[in-house]
Amino acid sequence: MLIKNYLHALQLTKSNYPKFIRHFGSASILLVLIALLNAAVPLLLRETTNAITAPHKTVFMIYMIASAYGICWTVAKMMEWVKNIISAAVLARCDAGFHKSIFTHFIHLPMGTINKLDPGVFIADMSRSCGSFSAITFSVFWVLFPVFIELVFVFSILAKLISVGAAVLFLILLLAILGLAFFLAKKSQASHALTMRASNDLSSHLIEKIHFIEEMKANNAYPKEDEIIRNKLLGYVRAVTQGNRQIGMLMVIQSLGIGAILIVFVLYTVQQNLVGNLSAGDFIMMTGYIVQLTLPMAYLSSSFINIRKDFVQLGAALAYLQLPIEIACGGANSVPLSAEGQRNAQSHEQSHEQNHEQKTDLFVLKNVVTEFDGNRILENFSLTIKSQQLTVIRGPSGAGKSTLIKMLIGFIQPSKGEIFFEGKSLGSVEKNALFAEVSVVLQHPIILSGTLRENLLYGTQRAVPDHALLEIAALVEITELGGCNGSDVLALDLGIQGKALSGGEKQRIAIGRALVRQTKILLMDEPTSAIDSARAGRIIERIRGRVETMVVVSHRHELIEIADTVIDLGDASLLQNPLTGGGRGQGGRSEIRAQRQSRHPRRRRE
């Protein structure tokens, strides 16, 4: 499973970082050269010592060997820093590629799946797992592998210059350190899982409170929040302390084991020197090797522990990739719309020409049932929404108006029944094609941190000149936003998520953003609830001249008066078979009313 997860992450990284293998290979060659240089340093020190203690000294040779020793050490250390520079660049690109894969998959999940995720846990998993693949790659290939190369080189030197027995003993002792590291790393996995859960819980709490801050202040709930955060932090401290205590004790055991092995080998070399089997240079070289390789081995032990942690984090991130995404671009079961529907923009003139065409069924709902937590919101609900009309949906709070809008764009899936868009099953329509034809203004619009221009352009990939943006800004009456005048308003910084804006200003910006997309269908959920009646009426009238088909959730009397069709969900929270053959409203509009189904249990939902 660990190897499978790593290979999966590798494929994701390569898909977003095509030059990974080439850059990784170049850096690895450099690491091998550094390993060979490090292995040569104690050997040159041995030769220097033996040359100094030799009966017949050659001064020039002594200086040459000593200089070679110093140069070798210097070059090795310089290349270490070059390695750090190169590896940082490669690993940062790995992190970015992996992060992009997870993020891209996340934003293509169905809304129903996203709503079930804990935002705090997801953010914590994302932030930790972003560097997990690169950390594993670094530890395995750029720490363990160079040490292995160095170990092979050292074994060859000892076998040739000292004895095969000494080389074998040296190898056995280092492999014992390596085995101890593997054993301790395996024991640490539960500790890492414990600290991860504690961190996730704290992150989840913080995200929840950020979105709950107004309620907290309005209810003066500071004492309650103090109690909650104390309990959360107490659990966090206990879990992290316990996890790190367990890991710390494992590292103490590791240090004890490495120290014992070091003592055994040093005593062995001393004994061999005393009996005359080793020269002073041999003693210095062997001691240098054991010290030089013991430090990386100690690092490897902690690396193995971290690798277990990184694999846990990697697995948590890859689990999100197992969640099925929505049909986006030509999936196996997807149905493309017309060529016209796949264009991102429809010109203003084309929309006017199409208004004279015959009205067709745009959305058709057949016997739709919607359930939340076992309670039915809509039951056997059937409805037809025509194109080239202004359709207004009204009804009391909890009647399912917002649910209906979200079903029309696939954010909510019905438990039973079918929804059709332009004659095709909505569930099989490519989402890119759907939203190329449909723009949406949700009930609670989100403002991006940035300028007004960036907010208006958020939903379109095409180039839109400033004069066109200013035309739309004037249409929704935001040209004087923030005290600006004229074209200056486009560069206005709206602050962090537009928190300083009023509800009405946010709604007008969201409407403008939808209009910039120039789609022929516009769905809006209470788009003018925070806008005064006169202004709302003016804006809606202007929109009608630009958009072919509008479906709007609203209680506004002035909007209902100009609607072609009014869908009245009534005062029941469960709807069944709206009366499509009802009378005509004022102005010749059709009215569709829902019957009360009081015999059913009620549940209100927007």
Q: Residue 302: what pLDDT?
A: 66
The domain defined by 2-321 folds into ABC transporter transmembrane region fold (1.20.1560)
Q: Where in the chain is the domain with CATH 3.40.50.300?
A: 348-593
Q: What's the pLDDT tens digit per position in 263-296? A: 887 788 788 878 888 888 888 887 787 777 766 6
Q: What is the mean pLDDT of residues 164-182?
A: 79
Report the chain's mean pLDDT, rounded to a whole number.
80
Confidence check: pLDDT of 510 > 90: yes
Q: Residue 581: what pLDDT?
A: 36
Q: Residue 391: what pLDDT?
A: 94
- Read off the pLDDT band of 589 (50, 70, 90): low
Q: What's the pLDDT tens digit per position in 316-350? A: 888 988 998 876 544 444 444 443 443 433 443 34
Whose tokens are 């001249």? That residue is 545
Q: What's the pLDDT tens digit per position in 526-549? A: 998 888 888 998 999 999 989 999
Q: Where in the chain is the domain with CATH 1.20.1560.10?
A: 2-321
Q: Residue 299: what pLDDT?
A: 65
- Read off the pLDDT band of 419 (50, 70, 90): very high
The Cα 482–Cα 480 span in angstroms is 6
Q: Residue 161: what pLDDT?
A: 79
Sign of CA dihedral 468, 474, 475, 476: positive
- Read off the pLDDT band of 194 (50, 70, 90): confident
Residue scoring higher pLDDT (294 or 208): 208
Q: Which residues of 83-115 are buried (b: 16+ CB within 10 A; e: fewer)?
A: beeebeebbebbbebbbbbbeebbebbbeeeee
Identity (one letter) of the amino acid at 373? D
Residue scoring higher pLDDT (96 or 174): 96
Q: Residue 297: what pLDDT?
A: 66
CB atoms within 10 A of CB 337: 18
Q: What percent of the chain clears pLDDT 90, i.e. is strictly above it?
A: 18
Q: What percent of the chain clears pLDDT 70, i.e. is strictly above it?
A: 85
Q: Residue 507: what pLDDT?
A: 93
Non-local CB neighbours of 200 within 8 Å, separated by 6+ positions: 118, 120, 121, 124, 125
Least confident range from 69-83, 128-142, 180-194, 535-549: namely: 180-194
Confidence check: pLDDT of 593 > 90: no
The Cα 427–Cα 409 span in angstroms is 10
Residue scoring higher pLDDT (119 or 405): 405
- Read off the pLDDT band of 604 (50, 70, 90): very low
Residue scoring higher pLDDT (320 or 195): 320
Which CATH architecture is the domain 348-593 placed in? 3-Layer(aba) Sandwich (3.40)
Q: Residue 125: what pLDDT?
A: 83
Q: What is the mean pLDDT of residues 588-596?
A: 53
Helix (H) or strand (E) holding 187: helix 164-187
Q: What's the pLDDT tens digit per position in 345-404? A: 344 334 444 444 456 889 999 999 888 777 777 888 888 999 999 999 998 887 888 889
- What residue ranges in 480-556 does DSSP mark as E strands? 521-525, 549-553
Whole-Å CA distances, 40 to 69, 282, 364: 8, 14, 78
Tokens of 131: 């560097």
Q: Residue 590: what pLDDT?
A: 62
Return the SS3 of 600.
coil
Are the C-beta atoms of residues 391 and 567 closer than 8 Å to each other?
yes
- Read off the pLDDT band of 440 (50, 70, 90): very high
Are the C-beta atoms of residues 541 and 562 closer than 8 Å to each other?
yes
Q: Residue 218: what pLDDT?
A: 66
Helix (H) or strand (E) holding 263: helix 222-274
The Cα 352–Cα 505 span in angstroms is 28
Main-chain dihedrals φ then ψ at residue 386, nearest 5 degrees? -85, 155
0.85 cut: is pTM over it? no
Helix axes 280-321, 132-139, angle to 10 degrees: 150
Least confident range from 98-112, 177-191, 346-360, 463-477: namely: 346-360
Main-chain dihedrals φ then ψ at residue 412, nearest 5 degrees? -125, 130
Q: What's the pLDDT tens digit per position in 249-260? A: 877 887 787 778
Least confident range from 208-212, 335-339, 487-491, 576-580: namely: 576-580
